[in-house]
Amino acid sequence: MARHARKKRFHEENAGFVHLYGLRFRDDKARGEEKTIETDSESAVTSRFPALKSEVGDGEKTLWQEVQGNDSDIILSGGTPMAGIGFHTDAFNSSNWSFEQCMQWAQKHGLKFIECGLIDGCAYIQALGYFPHIASYEDPVQLRRQMDKYGLQFSQIDAAFPMSLPEGATIGVEYVKHAIRYAKLVGAPCVDTTDNRTKPEGMTEREAMAHMKRCYVDIVRMAEAYGIIVNIEPHGYFTTKPKFMAEMLDFCQSPCLRMNMDTGNTFIAGQDPVAFVEQFKDRISHCHVKDVSPALAEAIRGKETGIAISVCAIGDGVNADNIRKCVEILLKNGYKGCFSLECEGSGGLIEKSLAWFRGVLKDAEKTVKKKK
């Protein structure tokens, strides 16, 4: 098998673990070199991520072996990927764009990462090309090939059903599981989840947390089998409160249960986004970047638990300084994930946001490099 084909297959089959551990493909046989693991041995990785060393039945592979790959001339070594910039296609909901139009926009503006929602089944408006997300009836392998032509890959698939609702145990769990299967085939490393904006009627906080724990334990068991990261996003009644987020991230001890930070939701919920990032920086694998206009902040901050997108250009709102600090904290901590911009796409707002954030990321990288 040619090196390029081996490399492509490796990344397709292990997208979540490659993203999580910062690993890269290394083919020493093709170079005629002696095969060695450059930095991370099995023991080194499993000591940091104990779930990789979980016991399995006779004749089955350990998770580490699954990550390591099947070809004898393919090994893993510690990689140094850089944090990247992407965007959520929610930006073009109001424009009635198709997902392909979003890919064209991303290519035009030099982006490599894209994030969108998954419709479980089909929806007429998406099928007609007026909704910029994907649907599960679309073949994920063919979609991945189409994305390859645009030089794009998913940073995450959004499957944010409000898991705290009673329906989380039925509709929500199955929806997220379908998203995990789809993510595996389409090459997305992460699936995003969250809770509802209000506490479920008829449940105490403890009852709702116990309900969500059962849901997430079930979901993460499957995520581990597929090598996909399940992120929890601060967007609702529980997830925007640090004490509950901390408990949720410990629902099960797994490297596949992590956090999708959102700078806008945490701010709107009345939290300090910088403090939120500082507390959870070791668990963050993906980050939504949203600013908040002064008028919106005055109207709903502390009254709501999140917003869909930034209605002002990112950098023009009251959250801009927080975003800068959050980026620097994450980079200083070794963050290698995607910064996914969530901003209204019409009227040139997202283009202005992208230019501003590219400058922020560049400045943060320089600052972190100097401190080292």
* Reported confidence tier of residue 8, pLDDT bands at 50, 70, 90: low
Q: Which residue has the higher pLDDT, 76 or 101?
A: 101
Rounded Cα–Cα distance for residues 16 and 266 (Å): 25
| Percent of the chain whose predicted confidence (pLDDT) is above 90 | 77
**Coil/strand/helix, residue 74:** coil
Domain count, the chain: 2
> Are both 233 and 191 inside the same structural domain?
yes
> Are both 64 and 90 inside the same structural domain?
no
| Mean predicted confidence (pLDDT) in 27-51 | 38
Instruction: Pick the range with the lowest mean pLDDT from 10-19, 48-57, 140-149, 180-189.
Output: 48-57
Token representation of residue 7: 């490399």
Rounded Cα–Cα distance for residues 132 and 48 (Å): 38
Residue 141 has a pLDDT of 98
| Mean predicted confidence (pLDDT) in 110-133 | 98
Token representation of residue 108: 């035009």
> Are both 94 and 173 inside the same structural domain?
yes
Domain that holds residue 13: 3-78
Domain closes at, from 63, 78, 93: 78
CA dihedral 67, 73, 77, 80 (to 10 degrees): -100
Rounded Cα–Cα distance for residues 114 and 130 (Å): 18
Domain closes at, from 25, 58, 78: 78
> Are both 163 and 310 inside the same structural domain?
yes
Summary mean pLDDT of the chain: 85
Rounded Cα–Cα distance for residues 289 and 326 (Å): 10
Instruction: Pick the range with the lowest mean pLDDT from 36-45, 213-222, 285-294.
Output: 36-45
Q: Which residue has the higher pLDDT, 212 or 69?
A: 212
> Are both 63 and 92 inside the same structural domain?
no
Instruction: Pick the range with the lowest mean pLDDT from 65-79, 123-137, 225-239.
Output: 65-79
* Reported confidence tier of residue 45, pLDDT bands at 50, 70, 90: very low
Rounded Cα–Cα distance for residues 351 and 360 (Å): 14
pTM > 0.85: no
> Are both 210 and 333 inside the same structural domain?
yes
Domain closes at, from 78, 112, 139: 78
Task: Please report where in the chains the tokens 């997300």 appear, as a residue.
Answer: 133
Residue 18 has a pLDDT of 57
> Are both 201 and 340 inside the same structural domain?
yes
Residue 39 has a pLDDT of 34
Residue 54 has a pLDDT of 38
| Mean predicted confidence (pLDDT) in 202-228 | 98
> Are both 129 and 51 inside the same structural domain?
no
Residue 13 has a pLDDT of 58
Residue 156 is part of a domain; what is its CATH number?
3.20.20.150
> Are both 9 and 148 inside the same structural domain?
no
> Are both 293 and 233 inside the same structural domain?
yes
pLDDT in tens, 296-352: 999 999 999 999 999 999 999 999 999 999 999 999 999 999 999 999 999 999 999
> Are both 219 and 355 inside the same structural domain?
yes
> Are both 202 and 68 inside the same structural domain?
no
Rounded Cα–Cα distance for residues 66 and 51 (Å): 13
